[in-house]
Structure 1
Amino acid sequence: MTARPDASELPEDWASALAKRGLDREAVVALVADTYGHSPAAVHPDRSDVFRAFHLTRLKDVRVAILGQDPYPHPGQANGLAFSVPEDEPTPRSLRAIYTNLRDDPANQIAQPLHGDLSAWAKNGVLLLNTALTVQDGHPGSHARRWEHFTDLVLRVLNEDCGHVAFLLWGSKAIRKATSIPIDEPPHTVIRSAHPAVWGKTKERRFMDCHPFSEANDFLRTHRLPPVAWDLPTAK
């Protein structure tokens, strides 16, 4: 298998935009070094994948932003993209629910993906952003506060520098995160629902009752932007 490029540092386009909002580049370098160098347990994803979402989705290409919580907290699962896992890993429950939603949306009608690697979406203008970029092994939410300021600034950059972005917010944490910025509607749109893993009663629309992917594409077409191809290749 071909090794992935190192993504342990921010690419220049994102780093420059974030610096204009007050991000200290050296502080980010120190944050990464401290996170991986002083943790009492393993940290996910691998250090070389921590900024992978920003390497695969250039700032000027962002059309859709999907906001997750934090990386999968078990070995081998996290690959730097929200909800995504490496191609040879079993598909997690949340991602299976996402695939079911896509399959059942009459506007998409895509074939059931055979793996859980969402890299193709990222390369097609979909920023797969976790609100925390790292997590301690076996401890969901353990690094949420470490990354709070950083991901707040990322959302500000998307809101202020991008023309039209469809923000897909699933679950209360993602909704609170984005609405605290807040996201301007227009020029953007916010499509919100319960988290894909939630099946019971919820204050938000149930994920299974929504069509966020076709709603996002309808929004993009309205602004004469190319829709996202949500189908996934069977191999990298």
Structure 2
Amino acid sequence: MGHMDNSQSTLFDLSDPAGTPVYKASDFPFYFGAQSMADQRFIAEDWVPVLEPLDQLLAGIAEELARRSAAGEHLLPAPEVMFRALQLPLAEVRVVAIGQDPYPTVGHAIGLAFAADAAVRPLPRSLANIYKELEADLGIAKAAHADLSSWHRQGVLLLNQALSVAAGNAGAHLKIGWTQVIEAVVAALNERPNPPVALLWGKHAQKMAGLMDRMPQLASAHPSPLSASRGFFGSKPFSKINRLLAEAGEQPIDWKIPQA
């Protein structure tokens, strides 16, 4: 992306050869509301009744992100993938795994919690620990890449508590309005006749447990290197989820990650 003229150059992070993109509010699909997002396939249609009451809030989040972008903040991930998790229809969610916010490294976040672009090396450390536990639990060899799209396709909703982040500043967007959006999503899942299994790794995720009182819940320490040895390793979440799904008459998740 070339610099258009000198007056704009202050908006670009010159340490990033591609430059920092500058977004307007209208660059965020959610600025135009839930029905518009579904019409353009940014979210599945059955999320519209859940998100439509929040259309005004969503427009406000888009305006806040545009303000931060104009001030030089590098927003991640790209606007069109911020809601990628909700391309999985509400009716098809079998497991909901709650993350905190997207990876704050340029090129990593793909709109699914814990997942990263298939080209990312080395793997994010939390995900490397998830793969380590998967191998210990089910004997599935560690995947070479970080793209968890195959889990998403099978009904695992990989949902962050904030759908955006500032590059290099984890947690920067946790208080800009996303909480209300994510709580609405979780409440809709909890109200389903057959609620999904909730996977709550770490204290941030476990704060949502009260909104998931009808869901079978699996809670443990977070897979981060800071906490994985305090109860994440050995927690066997993958086999436990498949056991809970079997008890509910559901097919198991195939946790093996296909080669990229």
Q: Which TM-score applies when normalising by structure 2? A: 0.78
Residue of structure 2 equivalent to 1:3: none
Q: CA RMSD in A?
A: 2.0
CA distance in 2, matches of 1:115, 1:201: 20
In the other structure, the counterpart of 2:145 is 115
Tell whether the 8 Å contact from 1:164 to 1:223 is kept in structure 2 after alignment.
no
1:211 corresponds to which letter in structure 2?
K
Rounded to whole Å, the distance in 2 between the matches of 1:227 and 1:133 is: 28
Q: For 1:17 and 1:24, how far apart are their aligned partners in 2?
A: 8
Flag the structure with higher helix content: 2
Q: Assess if the C-alpha contact under 8 Å between 1:36 and 1:47 holds in 2.
A: no
- Deviations along 1:13-62, one digit per CA (max 9) or x if unpaired, are 1122333xxx322431442343145333111111111101111x111110
- CA–CA distance in 2 between the matches of 1:174 and 1:32? 24
For 2:196, give the aligned amino acid.
V
| One-letter amino acid of the structure 1 residue matched with residue 169 of structure 2 | H
Query: Please, what TM-score do these two structures have when normalized by structure 1?
Result: 0.86
Q: Alignment identity in percent?
A: 36
Kept in 1, the 8 Å contact 2:54–2:181? The answer is no
Task: Mark the CA change 1:199 to 1:140 in structure 2 (over 3 Å): closer, same or farther.
Answer: closer
**Paired letter, 2:161:** T
SS of 2:254 mapped into structure 1: coil
The equivalent position to 2:89 in structure 1, one of 58, 75, 84, is 58
Paired with 2:249 and 2:179, the residues of 1 have a C-alpha distance of 33
Residues 18 and 157 in structure 1, CA contact (< 8 A), matched pair in contact too? no
Secondary structure of the corresponding residue to residue 170 of structure 2: coil
Q: Does 1:88 align with 2:119?
A: yes
How big is the shift at 1:162? 5.2
2 CA distance for matches of 1:36 and 1:72? 20
3-state SS of paired residue (1:169): strand
Match of 1:125 in 2: 155
Separation in structure 1 between the aligned mates of residue 157 and residue 250 of structure 2, nearest angstrom: 16
**Aligned match for 2:184, one of 132, 153, 156:** 153
2:198 alignment partner in structure 1: 167
1:31 aligns with 2:37: no
Partner Cα distance (1:121, 1:29) in 2: 30
Say yes or no: does 1:17 pair with 2:50.
yes
Counterpart of 2:252 in 1: which secondary structure? coil
Cα distance between partner residues in 1 of 2:67 and 2:79: 10
Aligned to 2:98: 67
| Structure 2: gaps of 5 or more residues | 1-26, 30-36, 38-42
SS of the residue aligned with 1:24?
A: helix
Verify: 1:216 aligned to 2:244, yes or no. Answer: no
Contact residue 104 and residue 170 of structure 2 kept, 8 A: yes
What letter corresponds to residue 139 of structure 2 in structure 1? Q
Higher Cα Rg: structure 1 or 2?
2
CA distance in 1, matches of 2:252, 2:213: 21
Cα deviation digits, residues 103-147 of structure 1 (max 9, x gap): 011xx2212212000011101100000000001111111100121
**More contact order relative to length (CA 8 Å, sep ≥ 6):** 1
Do the aligned partners of residues 200 and 69 (structure 1) sit closer, same or farther apart at CA in structure 2, a change above 3 Å counting? closer
Q: Which runs of 4+ in 1 moved over 4 A?
A: 198-202
Tell me if 1:231 matches 2:260: no
Question: Given the superposition, is the C-alpha separation of residues 151 and 213 from structure 1 closer, same or farther in structure 2, using an over 3 Å criterion?
Answer: same
The secondary structure found in structure 1 opposite 2:191 is helix
Aligned residues: 218
